[in-house]
Amino acid sequence: MPVLIAALMLGMTFLAPAHAQHEHLHPTAVQTVADVTFTLRTDIADGKLVFMGDAGKIAGKTNPTLNVPVGAVVQINLVNGDGATHDLSVAEFGVKSNQLNDKGASTAIVFRATKKGTFDYICTLPGHVQAGMIGKIVVGEGAADTSPKAADLSRDPHDLPPPIGKRAPQHLKVSLETTEVTGQLTDGATYKYWTFNGKVPGPFIRVRVGDTVDVDLSNAKDSHMIHSVDFHAVTGPGGGAAVTQAAPGSTKGFTFKALNPGLYVYHCATPMVAQHISNGMYGLILVEPEGGLPKVDREFYVMQGELYTAQRHGSTGENEFSLEKLLNEQPEHLMFNGNHNALTKTHRMEAKVGETVRIYFGVGGPNFTSSFHVIGEIFDRVYNLGDLVSPPLRNVQTTTVAPGGATVVEFKVDVPGRYVLVDHALSRMEKGLAGFLYVTGDPNPAVFRTASTPDAPSGH
């Protein structure tokens, strides 16, 4: 829904009148990701026209009651399921969708639930409310149940070792444990992840060119699968995977020399490899060049992944792996750092005006190429394809990263605000792929100002 995404980015209510845009989604409080999302499908039931819940707890319910917290940004998707003309409106919040005329067509409304109470959502076509197309939105009471709960396995983007700098080559040891753990996918939904060291992605490993590295891979006793590790930074059979196929309860290992500086992906390489990767078994290893990398103020570790579940996106409860969707390359979920909330709710990425930011970014995949972009920023430097030796690209808006690939981006933050990390294949935001970088500090009207901001002093 490109129009919906654009509306979200611009801080506008989807197809709402101008006065509603200012009253209900003030630009300073804009969110690019809704707090609560529902999907309704038009249908005919018991001789009536109805809205039918299409996913999650409301699936199969006629004109379901939609419970939301006060202040939440709410997105309601509408799919035409019967081929008649319909729309969707919540008059109290000033939102009304376009009309859907054909079966399978879809639209959405987005608004902020600014006041407590019970409100109607309806189809405004003449006679359709009387025919049954009316439901309730309850704001502030009976908010959606976020159970079941499970461990949060998402990787904190701050969780990476300090820079190596100018030290001489050393002999190092890396220990990895593979585990199969049920974790939180999003509010109200869980998934059984396969992990390196209990998090998704696995640990950020930092060495320098010339280091000799001993790798130990231990597979937890309660695992059901054989697991292994393939380092793209390794010169040797399978990147190490040929000698680390570890059965549950066993340990395998190897030693390698870091010959090539760069940022590299590692992942499990046990058949079927795509399933192991999708389930969370990927990470990054940085091989710093001699002398290290230029100093920056902030470093973050971010990886993009996909999950292929039998349950549709938005379903609550336990989500289970779907081989059919994996083979058809149809993920239900895309995320940064392991789950939907990792970089929007759970872990807060922050920087101050004037600071330099470096993001080590990789794509676990296993299938989708990322068009990595930070909305409202331009990458001052991009170490394309993870190459740390060639001169970096300059002044880049969006950079392409293949599955099993990586890049390093750097930029200075000049203006306070919230900046959104996305894959610029923007439909993927609707499946959970977004992150926030919060920049604090004084306004910088010489670089950016709204129409109400006084002009910058002359000479600036």
Using a 10 angstrom Cβ sphere, with 0-12 exposed, 13-18 middle and 19 or more buried, the burial of residue 82 is: middle
- Say whether the peptide bond before residue 349 is cis (omega within 30 degrees of 0): no
Does the annotation list 276 as a binding residue?
yes
- Dihedral (Cα; 135, 138, 139, 144), 10-degree rounding: -110
Q: What's the CA gap between 201 and 363, in Å, rounded?
A: 10
> What angle (nearest 5°) sits at the alpha carbon of residue 240, between those of residues 237 and 243?
85
Does the annotation list 227 as a binding residue?
yes
Does the annotation list 267 as a binding residue?
yes
User: Which of 368, 359, 366, 421 lies closest to 386 in space, CA to CA?
Assistant: 359
Q: What's the CA gap between 400 and 82, in Å, rounded?
A: 40
Helix (H) or strand (E) holding 277: helix 273-278
Q: What's the CA gap between 283 and 267, in Å, rounded?
A: 6
Q: Residue 292 has which token pair?
A: 């290290």
Does the annotation list 333 as a binding residue?
no
Q: What's the CA gap between 87 and 83, in Å, rounded?
A: 12
Q: What's the CA gap between 238 and 234, in Å, rounded?
A: 8
User: Which of 276, 344, 346, 266 lies closest to 308 in space, CA to CA?
Assistant: 276
* Cβ 297 vs Cβ 437: under 8 Å: no
* Cβ 433 vs Cβ 304: under 8 Å: yes
Does the annotation list 424 as a binding residue?
yes
User: Which of 256, 252, 290, 255 lies closest to 268 in space, CA to CA?
Assistant: 252
Length of the chain counted residue by residue? 460
| N-to-C CA span, the chain | 41
Residues annotated within the binding site for Cu cation are: 227, 232, 267-268, 276, 281, 424
Residues annotated within the binding site are: 227, 232, 267-268, 276, 281, 424
